[in-house]
Amino acid sequence: MSDSQFQGRIALVTGAASGIGAATAQRLADGGVAGLALVDQNPEGLAEVSNRVSAGGINVLTIAQDVGDPQAWGEAEGLIGRTFGRLDLAVANAGTGAHGQLVELGFQDWRRVMSTNLDGVFLTVSAAMRLMTEGGAIVVNASVMASKAEVGAGAYAVSKAGAAHLVKVAAKEGAPARIRVNAVLPGGVETPIWREVPMFNDIVAAHGSEAAAFAAMGSLNPLGRYAKPEEIAGVIAFLLSDACGFVTGSSLVCDGGYLL
């Protein structure tokens, strides 16, 4: 159902081809945005999301690129500026993972995670801030792993901790230009990123399906389940909305009680 909380605004979402990014794009479309710039490395997934969200007459620009590529961002920033003239909202959501203890984790995997989860956030946020000529709001999708150590999650956790701190710096630097910057820290969410984790694939094999694997892992949370992407998209939309007009530099945990 459509509402008008983002009526007429222009938004950017990275990692928009699936999971939280796709759900966020839909939430913003339902909220009345006039334009959406969707970024992802997966052109087929981008096309599917674009077709879905543009059904309501929204102007959608799809950009297939690696968020960790500064040259690609130079081109993307210019394209967004020429297409829409400005940005009002941005969601730095693109992310990837690698599992392995530090003594066995390859440097290539470490750099791959940092390139997407930290370099990509820096490039997204800096480009968005330059395009927000009339103020705006930015949300970075970090993780509860930014605050909790887990064996084998070193690269992912460090990248997310860096992204969460970058939010605080960006919030201070953006405040004079009326740009708010906040982070959302999800716990377990039912998204495709889990397929990059060998442990998850082992659990899928043991339980017979991804749905059963998510149910087994989610049962360990106080709330007894993992989140749906749409639930995290709702939190992101809240942080982007005028209801959070006095909120900046904050990290909102939404983890089903995992950190308790």
Write out the residue range of the structural domain in which residue 160 sits: 10-190+228-254
For residue 219, tell me if it sits in a domain: no
Lowest mean pLDDT: which of 110-119, 170-179, 206-215? 206-215
Residue 122 is assigned to a structural domain of this protein: yes
Q: Would you say residue 197 lies in a domain? A: no
Q: In the chain, how many domains are there? A: 1
C-alpha 256/C-alpha 225 separation (Å) is 7
Indicate whether 210 belongs to any domain.
Answer: no
DSSP 117: I
Task: Give the active site residues.
Answer: 156
Q: What is the mean pLDDT of residues 148-173?
A: 95
Q: Cα(141)–Cα(113) distance, rounded to whole angstroms?
A: 14
Higher per-residue confidence, 65 vs 207: 65
In this structure, is residue 49 part of a structural domain? yes
For 62, 78, 170, the CA distances from 45, given in Å and listed in that order, are 10, 23, 30
Q: Does residue 208 lie in a domain region?
A: no
Examine the pLDDT at 242 and tell me if it is beyond 80: yes
Q: Please check whether residue 84 lies inside any domain of the structure.
A: yes
CATH number at residue 73: 3.40.50.720
Contacts of 94 (CB under 8 A, 6+ apart): 14, 15, 21, 39, 40, 67, 116, 120, 124
Q: Is 132 inside any structural domain?
A: yes
Query: Each residue of 39-77: pLDDT tens digit?
Result: 999 999 999 999 999 988 899 999 999 999 999 999 999
DSSP lists the bridge partners of residue 185 as: 253
Query: Does residue 147 surpass a pLDDT of 60?
Result: yes
